[in-house]
Every structure is written in C-alpha cells, then in structure tokens.
Structure 1
C-alpha cells in the first residue's frame, strides 16, 4: 500500500530489481548486460566487493542500539500494527488470511519467479526445492520475536548437481575443498537474497502482519484491502474526535521549534472497539530515545514489603476480619487535568540546576551449566541515568556504596564521564510543552503516581489515622484497600465512586470489587539449551516471594502455590514444544533432564541465602522433596494431555512418583530415558 492508501504492485521503488528494466531498442544488448550486472551485484554483493551482511560488523553504541537490524538472522517485523481478537468467530476467520494460505501463496510465487534449474538437476533439484519451500512455510509460521538463521535454511542442501555454481571447465570434475567453500558462499548469498529480497517484500506488499493481544506473540495476516476496511472506520472516528489534521509544512515548523518528536499510532482491539495506542517508546531517527519500563518483580517488591509488614502487625493482636475494597480509575491517563499536573510537577524540583550523567550495568547473561562446563552467553548491558543537583559533589563510587549497588551481585558498573547540565526553568518549559502538546507520554506513569499521591493526601487522609489497621496499595490507577474497619472501607468506596472532578477521577463500577456486602448509590547451544532456558525462566517469573514465604503464608498455601507454578511452567514448556518443527523438538532425555534441572533451580531459588539476605524475615520451608513431587506431578499430568507423544517422559515421571511414595530413592534421571 502506498502512503495514499493505493495498492502498489511489484517491488518497492527503492529496490534495484524494481528499477531495472530491459535495454532500449537502440542498445538492447548493452542495456541488457548492464541490467544483468546490476541485478547480479544486488544478489551477490559479497562477490562484487560491496557492502553485505556477511562481512559487515556494525559498531553499536549506547545511542545507536536498536537503530538498525543487521546480520544473517531473518525475521519479519510488523510495523506499528494493530491487534485482532482472534476469537475464532466467522467474521474473524473471513477477515484474516490463514497461515496455510499465505504460505501456499508465497511458495507459488517463488516457484514462478525462480527457475527450477537454480536448485540443481534431477533428484537434487527436487530435494533442494522442497527443502526451501518447507523453510518458507516455517518462516510464515514464525511467532513474533522469533527468527530463522541462514544456517537453519541451508541445513540439508546439496550442491553437487547445482550446475550454475560450477565453473564451465570444472563441471565434470570432483569438487575440491576450496571449490566447495566458494560454491557454498555463493549459494548462501542466493538463499539470503530469496528470503530477504523476495519473500519478505512479497509478504509486506500483499499482507498486513500484526500480533494479537489475546494470542500474545502469534502473528496474523490480513490482505491490505481487508485491513484497510477494518481500520478505516476507527481512523475516521479518531480524526473526528481526537486528532486534528494539519498541513505538512505546519507540522515541520512545529517540530523544528520543539525538542520533542513524533510517535507512531496503532489500533488495539478492546472488547468490541479499537483502542488507539501511541508508541512513545519507539526510537525516532536522530531524536528518538528508548525508555524501558521496570520489570514486574521490581514493581511488586515494594507492595510485597508493605503487605508483609501489615500482616505481621495484625498478627500481634486479637483476630480481626479484613475488609478488602478494590477500584479502578476509568481512562486515568486521558482524564488527568493537564494544567494541574504541570503545576504539581513544578513544585518538585528543589534546585535551580541539575546534572544528568550515565553509567552502564554489565551482568552475565543466562547460561545453563552442563557436565562439560558452563555454556557461555553474551553479557547483558543496561544503560542507566543518574541525576543530582549541580552543587552535589558526591563521587560515583559513593553513589554505588549508598544506593546503586545495593542488592546487586555479579555486576560491573562503568561510569560515563560525559554529563549534561539542565536549568530547572528550561525543564519546566519542556515539561509544559510535553504535557500540553501531546497525546500520552512516556512519563505518564510517573505523572499519574505523583498526581494520585496528592489525591490520597487530600481526600483519603482518613485512612492514615490508623496505619496499623488500614493499608492502601496503589499500582498506577488501581487502588486496593485492606482494613479491619468496615466503616473506612465503605467510606473509601463512597469517596471514590462519587468521583473527584479536580483530579479527573471517575471509577469504573464494573471493575470494583469488595469482600463484603456493600451498596453504593451509583450506577495477567547444546541440544535443548533454549528449551531448558525457557522452561527455567517460565518458573522464575512466577517465583515471587509473596507466594512462597512460609512466614507469611501457611505451609499448605505455599505448597499449593508451588503446584500451580509448576503446572503453569509445564503448560508453557509444552506450548513452546508445539511451536517447534517436529525435527527440532527436544528429545525425551532432554525433556527429563530439563525437569530435573528445574527441580534443582526452583529449590535453590526459593531457599537461597541471597534472597533471605536481601529481604530479612523471608522464610521458605519447602523441602527439595516437596519441590520434586510438585514438578513431577505437574509435568506428568500436563504432558499426558498436551504432549502425549512423550510417553517416555510420562512413564519416567510416574516411576519417580511411585518411588517417592514408597520411600525409595529414585533412580538418576539419565538412566531412565535413553
């Protein structure tokens, strides 16, 4: 589709093979030769000594990260795409193109474009062509963030009878090692050209590729005319209600006068409507800056600490009933008064000038040790900013000792000598422009936290009268009150449901929850390495202390949480297996080894000294035997339903369970499944 919404046929105009055409009538031979050479140089840049992905090594710095994707990994990336519900309704099935149809279409077009002789002659031709078409089908079925390497595509290819790779005078002779290397090099360039310059543009020119909120990383394909019919009504409504169309010259003039750039828009279906989402974190050329949000665990950590302290205080006195009240603010980011937000944020700076410096945290990447040693992995780097007043002369080492390095082990901190000084007045002007002249902001979460904290101070101060009997938790715009005083819970619900116009707060009654009767007058490189790593990570993200602290939870509840976490881990492991081609799925011995490794890692993670040192008072009395029983039971039940083909794994898990129940020491896992 062109910028005006018209259908564009063929390759994009920027490609050489789209611009090249036959020679003129006056010079047909010369024009044809020049055109052929240009196409050959585009297909085999390495052979012509041109820039290519095989020999180019980008120098990526902190300011360039993610600016360009290079290398021989092939992936189809969707643009600022909207999602689809994918609920399997008749309308949904008719709107989207199934992966089978997209794959068949791509294979048919490639077979029409590429002569059969390119793949060889005789049985070699049939073998190579079928292998490439199988990889085309795999490529179409890739999920978001998955990639396909050129090495994967080349596996199984035969070059012996590919005549165009052989020099004319050597076709009858056996290939030498150097000749084979050169033929392989040329053929790899051709394969990269097929996928990068034929297949990907073919998909982009015919289909709109997008993920789905319901199915997470699964990709859906829509013909451009179909997607335009779906999105056009929503865009018309946005132009009428939310956006104002301006001339290109006026837009350029505004951008030249301000430090803020532009952002992409996508449409995200929500129930029966399309919700506009501004991607304010996407890097913009020359001006963009990527902002990473904190992890879920880092958000839950302070909530967990407050919740545990409240529970410990409540245990000291007589047993009381807890009253819980939860409310959700409707469209919090859209309803906050901009002028009030700006005025509140202007009261925060306490100095006239601030210095912003950067430093980098370097940590070892994920690695899975085996009997031969430790699998090496690329270290993870994260650039951070450090703000201080201009009069603050504290050294970087002192900041590390006091706050930056607290609770972080196996981490290298590297300071950057470059610093930038900002004037508070200039920052206030930039803030005003940022808030009043934009729809949404990468700082919306911070603004919301400050703004609603002021709301709590002014309108919910009655909850602070008895800190030992009431606890108010808030995650951005979601409020949760836990109290032993029913009258306070009722008053809290009454205040919130009545609305607070000064703060733009209107509660969504459909999302309000209470645990008591209430009436108000208002209307979530070795074989199997990646599989093992993903399985372990699936458990890590569910291992929050809140669920396994036996000093906070009853032992029975901690065991139930462990069983639920193991079951979810097993389901994710089986889902990952289903996404893999049959010839790349882990063997039974790898599956068994992964379960055994999961037991060891889970027990070590839940009972680690580091966790107890970082969070005093944390206790986990779960034994390794209990962890093993939970893992074996979960994987036995889930694999039996989701992956019945792994009969050896099911038998092994059941044998281990019987051995544990009889009190015998179970055999080593590597001796059970071969």
Structure 2
C-alpha cells in the first residue's frame, strides 16, 4: 500500500508546473482551478482510457490568458488573408482582416500551448517521478508509486528470488546460453499485490540483447525472436494431438472451456449410474516459481 493517492499526485504535478511555467502562461486564478481540475481528471484515468485535447482545455477561457492578447498578425499572414492567397479558410471566403481572424489565431495558439503543456510538462513529470502500473486486485485502475519506493519494492523482490536459488547471470553464461538457441528471454515485470509483488513474464515480445561496445562506439543491440514464436510448431503438434487423439492427453485441460467439457460429460454419468451423488474431490494446484 505504498502508492500515492491521485490527489497527492495532482498536488505534486501542480506544484512542479507552477515552479516551471511562468504564471502568465497559466492564466488567472479561475483558469488555475480549471487547469488543475483537468490534470486531476488526467491522473484519474483508468487503463486503456484516453484523454482528448477538448478535455485538456475544458473550462479554460482564452480571454483570461494575458499573453494571447499580445498576439499580433504578421505581415505575411495579413497579406495572405487580404489578397486571398493560399489555403487559408478566411482567404477562400474573401474575408478581410478582422477580429475573427485574430480570435481564430489566438484559439489555435492556445490549443497548441495546452497540448504542449500536457504532453511535454505534465506527462514527463509523472513518468520521471512515478512508476505507473495496475495492481493484482484492481486491474483496470492505475496506481502511482514514487520511484524511490518502487525501487525498494523491486529490490526486495529480487532479493527474494536470490534466496530461492536464483542468481543473476554473468555475461559469459548469458552469451553461452544465447549461442545455443535461436530465441531470447522473456521480459519480466512486477505486479503489486496487497503485501508483495507478483512476477509476470511476457513471452510474446522479442528480446533486445545489448552487444559489447568497441572503441567507444555506440552500443548496438541484436533482436532475438520471442519464446512464443519459437514454440509455435510444438503448440501446433499439441493442438493436433488434442483434436485427433484426445485420450493421449488424459485429464489435461487447456483452459476453462476444457474444464467445463470434462465436468459436463462427467455429471450425467454420475446422475444416471447411482441414486446418490458420490463425493467429488476437486484439487486446485499452484506451481511454485512458475516463471522464466
């Protein structure tokens, strides 16, 4: 439970942005409240949710930004509109330089500024100070761990792995293993639980292996195919055996659907063969240390 609440993250981001961005670029106090509210909505997003530009600018008024009132149309832009040259929508309509043109230009600058504010200030502050992830119990929510705290959590998890007869590979052992096969390693990440972390191995992505640098050159990388791609042929063989010779696999199941089919065939036989329901024992097993 070492993560920060959304309100704490918003307060940190807002304090950081106010120390970085000049106050004139943030508008007046009314826009401050609206902008902080939009940051709060952004921080509170769930997994797979998006945040549009209109949501970033919700409640903000361009008239409250003093720097926008100082925007002047350049001579090039004025001539373009006045002469009806180019693809400008005002030029096509034959509209002379007016206040509408200036308002449109101000809105364009304002939207670009807010987009840059969120993408180049808010997001980098969050990514540099927090590790953002989901949790085991709430997979669709997003949690923010301070990176110093997250580093301690990861170090404790790695120490537990070392205590369970795991060790870090040196470069020589690593090179030897890679040379004997044509696929790489899985990518491991840590998923927080209530009191510890769960280790997840992603076997779908290819491996990015660094090479030694020579003569102070840039480090190069070699990509090896993923574990799943190297097991495609074996998986195809198992699927064929499953469909053509299911008895060879015994009671093995490959998912919830297979478990349902086994029980569905078993229950009618029990009900027809005996007036009394016999005792049924269901064993649930969890393989310890079942990760790459």
Q: TM-score range by the shorter chain?
A: 0.5 to 0.7
Go from structure 1 to structure 2 and tell me whether the alpha carbon gap of 1:163 and 1:267 turns closer, same or farther (over 3 Å shift): closer
Cross-structure match for 1:198: 121
Give the structure-1-normalised TM-score.
Answer: 0.30
For the Cα contact (< 8 Å) 2:10–2:43, is it kept in 1? yes
Go from structure 1 to structure 2 and tell me whether the alpha carbon gap of 1:103 and 1:260 turns closer, same or farther (over 3 Å shift): same
Secondary structure class of the residue paired with 1:221? strand
Q: Which residues of structure 1 form unaligned runs of 5+?
A: 1-91, 291-429, 435-440, 461-471, 490-514, 524-674
Deviations 1:230-270 (A, max 9, x none): 33232223345475423357646865885434432123457
Compute the displacement of 1:143 (Å): 0.4
Choose the corresponding residue for 2:3, options 80, 96, 99.
96
Compute the displacement of 1:145 (Å): 0.8
Say whether 1:133 aligns with 2:30.
Answer: no
Cross-structure match for 1:154: 57
For the Cα contact (< 8 Å) 1:207–1:221, is it kept in 2? yes
For the Cα contact (< 8 Å) 1:448–1:476, is it kept in 2? no
Q: Which residues of structure 2 form unaligned runs of 5+?
A: 74-96, 209-221, 286-292
Partners of 1:180 and 1:252 in 2: CA distance: 63
Deviations 1:316-371 (A, max 9, x none): xxxxxxxxxxxxxxxxxxxxxxxxxxxxxxxxxxxxxxxxxxxxxxxxxxxxxxxx
For the Cα contact (< 8 Å) 2:134–2:192, is it kept in 1? no
Deviations 1:363-403 (A, max 9, x none): xxxxxxxxxxxxxxxxxxxxxxxxxxxxxxxxxxxxxxxxx
Number of positions where the alignment pairs a residue of Structure 1 with one of Structure 2:
238
For the Cα contact (< 8 Å) 1:143–1:218, is it kept in 2? yes
Partners of 1:455 and 1:474 in 2: CA distance: 14
Cross-structure match for 2:254: 475
Deviations 1:456-486 (A, max 9, x none): 53474xxxxxxxxxxx893348643423445
For the Cα contact (< 8 Å) 1:119–1:129, is it kept in 2? yes
Compute the displacement of 1:211 (Å): 0.7
Partners of 1:266 and 1:112 in 2: CA distance: 34
Say whether 1:183 aligns with 2:90.
Answer: no
Compute the displacement of 1:455 (Å): 9.3
Choose the corresponding residue for 2:21, options 102, 108, 114.
114
Higher relative contact order (CA 8 A, sep 6+): 2
Compute the displacement of 1:96 (Å): 1.8
For the Cα contact (< 8 Å) 2:131–2:150, is it kept in 1? yes
Partners of 1:148 and 1:210 in 2: CA distance: 18
Compute the displacement of 1:188 (Å): 2.3
Higher helix share: 2
Partners of 2:245 and 2:194 in 1: CA distance: 30
Cross-structure match for 1:497: none
Partners of 2:102 and 2:72 in 1: CA distance: 13
Compute the displacement of 1:223 (Å): 1.6
Say whether 1:457 aligns with 2:236.
Answer: no
Partners of 2:270 and 2:242 in 1: CA distance: 23
Compute the displacement of 1:169 (Å): 6.6
Go from structure 1 to structure 2 and tell me whether the alpha carbon gap of 1:175 and 1:151 turns closer, same or farther (over 3 Å shift): farther
Compute the displacement of 1:136 (Å): 0.5
Partners of 1:288 and 1:187 in 2: CA distance: 46
Secondary structure class of the residue paired with 1:148? coil
For the Cα contact (< 8 Å) 1:128–1:157, is it kept in 2? yes
Go from structure 1 to structure 2 and tell me whether the alpha carbon gap of 1:273 and 1:222 turns closer, same or farther (over 3 Å shift): closer
Partners of 1:150 and 1:99 in 2: CA distance: 21
Partners of 1:151 and 1:278 in 2: CA distance: 38
The root-mean-square deviation of aligned C-alpha atoms, in Å, is 4.3
Go from structure 1 to structure 2 and tell me whether the alpha carbon gap of 1:146 and 1:457 turns closer, same or farther (over 3 Å shift): same
Secondary structure class of the residue paired with 1:225? helix
Give the structure-2-normalised TM-score.
Answer: 0.63
